[in-house]
Amino acid sequence: MGGRAFSFQAPLLWNQLPVWIRETDTLSTFKVRVGFWFSDKKRRRMNLDAFVQFCADRGVEVVEIDLTQPLGPQGPFDIIIHKLSDVIVEAEHNSQSQQLLDNFQSYVSAHPDTILLDPLPAMTQLLDRFASCQKMSQLNSSLRDWHICTPPYLEVHSGSDAIKIQMLTHKHILFFSPQVCKTRVAHGSYSHEMCLLFSAASLADIHPPCVLQSFVNHGAVLYKVYVVGDKHCCVERPSIKNFPSGPCDRKTIFFNSHQVSKPESNSDLTSLDEQMVALPPPSSDAVAALVKELRAQLGLALFGVDVIVNISTHTLTVIDINIFPGYEGMPQFFSSLLSHIQSVLDQHASAGSS
């Protein structure tokens, strides 16, 4: 299955860019200075060198920040775009990463007029799946009228929690349906390593702390909603096939979610065992409502949401939220990002003059 994109807003045309961008030629003095920091892998995947040139052609200087050097001489910056997830996660057990993070935060504190995309506190909350699942669960009430929900989940803090779940299941107090087990840390390559459990006995295969999220049959189709400020699009990806509900003696299935859902995926896990009528994609209005709610709830402008459509109820089901995703398949991404940068700067300038 390919990576079909559904753009719910018209692609950004040249004449829709701010006037100051369209009327700036390549020889003009840069009017805006943007700093960025991403891991080398992220930089390559997003083709940031091309974005730097794209912005330069429109009078915007984009420079890479070196966290190992003092930030003062590298500035000033009107805005900083970043994905410091790597550094934040590593800082918990690495003093060098903690120092880099401290230096960055000190610079931001000393330069309050520099805007961060996105704010560190807003971004950090999604690095913990316990916290992100709590955020997603709020959608069950706030978006009930849109028939949008999130699956039930359990936090497993330690091995003793897993044992308690087994006991409750054996006593028929808790019904065990297939569960997707995800690491608590929601960043890094290891965070994509997941497993699908089919019985309480399979809990012996998990490694707490982790999250157990009820598996929802969705016809092996996942939709990645990419958000850039007030613009978003929905990209179709392959996903895990349907399984019978209820416990069974099937062995635990271990998988890498990134490999399963990449556009060119050819995994046995994504091949349906039976023919079924394809479900229509999520409605544009429902996705717009979801994006609006999450932007307000999270305080983020650059994020992704993984959604599926329940094959039984046709309910739009939110299964994950991602910090600054890869935006693979989003049309006009560079234009959308540059437009959002200008929008944020305009709002900041208006607030400062009022």
Name the binding residues for Mg(2+).
306, 320, 322
Check residue 310 and report its DSSP letter: -
**Nearest 10 degrees: Cα torsion 36, 37, 38, 44:** 50
Encoded amino acid at 124, one letter: T
| Distance between CA atoms of residues 9 and 18, nearest Å | 17
| Distance between CA atoms of residues 314 and 279, nearest Å | 8
Summarize the annotated binding site for ATP as residue ranges: 129, 182, 213-224, 239
Bridge partners of 36, per DSSP, are 64, 81
CA 258 to each of CA 49, 81, 155, 242, 303: distance values in angstroms, whole numbers, following the listed order: 24, 24, 22, 18, 16
Which tokens is 224 given?
């990645």
Burial group, residue 220, by CB count within 10 angstroms (0-12, 13-18, 19+): buried
The answer to whether 319 and 150 are in contact (CB under 8 A) is yes
Summarize the annotated binding site for 1D-myo-inositol 1,3,4-trisphosphate as residue ranges: 42, 83, 192, 224, 322, 326
247: CB partners within 8 A, 6+ apart: 169, 176, 177, 198, 199, 200
| Distance between CA atoms of residues 51 and 325, nearest Å | 16
Q: What are phi and psi of 328, to 5 degrees?
A: -70, 120
Residue 82's nearest CA partner among 96, 98, 62 is 62
For 254-332, where are the alpha helices, taking DSSP H only?
257-260, 284-298
Sign of CA dihedral 4, 229, 122, 188: positive
Residue 242's nearest CA partner among 301, 310, 174 is 310
Summarize the annotated binding site as residue ranges: 42, 83, 129, 182, 192, 213-224, 239, 306, 320, 322, 326
